[in-house]
Structure 1
Amino acid sequence: MSGAAQPKLGLKGMLGFTVGDFAFNLYWQSVSLYLLFFYTDVVGLRAGVAGLIYMIASIFDAVIDPLMGAIADRTRTRWGRYRPYILFGTPFVGIAFLLLYYRPPLEGAGLAAWMLAAHIIFRIAYTVVSIPFTAMSARLTSNSAERGSMAGLRIIFATLAGLTVAISTQPLAAHLGGGDPATGFFAAAAIFAAIASLVLPIVFFATREPAETEEDCAPANLAEYWSALRDNRALWALLAGVCAGVVCSTALGKSILYYFKYNLGNEDGGRIALSIVAASGPLIVPVWMAISRWIGKRNTWFAAIAWGLVGLLWFSLTDVRSNGMAIAFFLWMQVTGLGLALGFWSILPDTVEYGEWRTGRRTESFVFGLGQFFLKVALGLGAGLFGWLLDQIGYRANTVQTPETLAHMKILMTALPALGLTLAGVAMVFYPLRGGRHAEIVEELANRRRLPAEADGQA
Structure 2
Amino acid sequence: MQQFDACRQTTGKVGFLEKIGYGLGDGASCFYFQTFSAYLLFFYTDVYGLPAAIVGTMLAVTRIGDAIIDPFMGMVADRTRSRWGHFRPYLIWMSLPLAVMGVATFTTPGFGLAGKIIYAYVTYSILMLLYTAINIPYGALLGVVSSDSLDRTSLASYKMSFAFGGSLVVQAVALYLVEFFGGGNAQRGWQLTMAAFGVIAVILFFGTFSLTRERIQPPVQQRTTFSRDFADLITNVPWLLLCVIGVSTLVYASLRVAATVYYFKYYIGPQTFSFLGQSYELDTKGFMAVFTVLGYAGSILGVMSTRYFVKYLGKKYTYLFSMAAITLVTASYFLYTPKQLTLIFAMQFVGLYLNGPSMAVIWAMYADIADYSEWKHRRRATGLVFSASCMSQKMGWAFGGAVAGWLLAYYGFVAGEVQSVSTQTGIVTLFSLIPAVPALLATLLILFYSLDEKRMQSIQEELTARRAGEEAGQPVAVN
TM-score interval, smaller chain: over 0.9
Q: For 2:448, what is the secondary structure of its paired residue? A: coil
Distance in 1, Cα, partners of 2:126 & 2:194: 15
The residue identity in structure 2 corresponding to 1:46 is P
1:283 maps to what in 2? Answer: 301
- Is residue 68 from structure 1 mapped to residue 86 from structure 2 by the alignment? no
The residue identity in structure 2 corresponding to 1:224 is R
Note closer, same or farther for the CA distance 1:199–1:349 as it changes in structure 2 (3 Å cut): same
- Is residue 415 from structure 1 mapped to residue 419 from structure 2 by the alignment? no
1:391 maps to what in 2? Answer: 409
Aligned ranges 1:204-353 → 2 under 5 Å? 204-210=209-215, 212=217, 214-215=219-220, 217=222, 219-221=224-226, 223-266=227-270, 267-268=284-285, 269-353=287-371
Note closer, same or farther for the CA distance 1:312–1:91 as it changes in structure 2 (3 Å cut): closer
The residue identity in structure 2 corresponding to 1:431 is Y
How far residue 322 of structure 1 moved from its aligned partner, in angstroms, is: 3.3
1:50 maps to what in 2? Answer: 55
Distance in 1, Cα, partners of 2:153 & 2:217: 24
Q: Which structure has more helix as a fraction of its residues?
A: 1
Alpha-carbon RMSD = 2.1
Distance in 2, Cα, partners of 1:451 & 1:216: 13
Q: For 2:305, what is the secondary structure of its paired residue? A: helix
Relative to structure 2, which stretch is displaced further, 360-369 or 439-448?
A: 439-448
1:177 maps to what in 2? Answer: 182
How far residue 418 of structure 1 moved from its aligned partner, in angstroms, is: 2.3
TM-score by length of 2: 0.90
- Is residue 427 from structure 1 mapped to residue 431 from structure 2 by the alignment? no
The residue identity in structure 1 corresponding to 2:22 is F
- Is residue 359 from structure 1 mapped to residue 377 from structure 2 by the alignment? yes
- Is residue 85 from structure 1 mapped to residue 80 from structure 2 by the alignment? no
Distance in 2, Cα, partners of 1:427 & 1:40: 35
Instruction: Spell out, residue by residue over 1:397-447, the C-alpha distance to the aligned partner (whole angstroms, 9 max, x if none).
Output: 110111011112222223222221221122212111123211210111122
Relative to structure 2, which stretch is displaced further, 417-426 or 364-373?
A: 417-426
How far residue 53 of structure 1 moved from its aligned partner, in angstroms, is: 1.9
Instruction: Spell out, residue by residue over 1:375-404, the C-alpha distance to the aligned partner (whole angstroms, 9 max, x if none).
Output: 111101110011101101111111011101
Gapped regions of structure 2 (runs ≥ 5): 1-5, 271-283
Which of these residues, 374, 390, 411, is aligned with residue 372 of structure 1?
A: 390
Instruction: Spell out, residue by residue over 1:158-198, the C-alpha distance to the aligned partner (whole angstroms, 9 max, x if none).
Output: 11111211222111111111321010011111111111112
Q: For 1:76, what is the secondary structure of its paired residue? A: coil
For the 8 Å contact 2:145–2:215, the answer to whether it is kept is: yes
Distance in 2, Cα, partners of 1:287 & 1:216: 41
Q: Aligned pair count?
A: 456
How far residue 453 of structure 1 moved from its aligned partner, in angstroms, is: 5.9
Q: For 1:19, what is the secondary structure of its paired residue? A: helix
Distance in 1, Cα, partners of 2:418 & 2:210: 52
Q: For 1:436, what is the secondary structure of its paired residue? A: helix
2:464 maps to what in 1? Answer: 446
* Structure 1 ranges of 4+ moved more than 6 A: 1-5
How far residue 30 of structure 1 moved from its aligned partner, in angstroms, is: 1.3
Note closer, same or farther for the CA distance 1:400–1:44 as it changes in structure 2 (3 Å cut): same
How far residue 454 of structure 1 moved from its aligned partner, in angstroms, is: 5.9
For the 8 Å contact 1:231–1:355, the answer to whether it is kept is: no
Q: For 1:280, what is the secondary structure of its paired residue? A: helix
How far residue 4 of structure 1 moved from its aligned partner, in angstroms, is: 6.5
- Is residue 155 from structure 1 mapped to residue 160 from structure 2 by the alignment? yes
Distance in 2, Cα, partners of 1:237 & 1:211: 25
Q: For 1:208, what is the secondary structure of its paired residue? A: coil
Distance in 1, Cα, partners of 2:55 & 2:266: 18
Gapped regions of structure 1 (runs ≥ 5): none
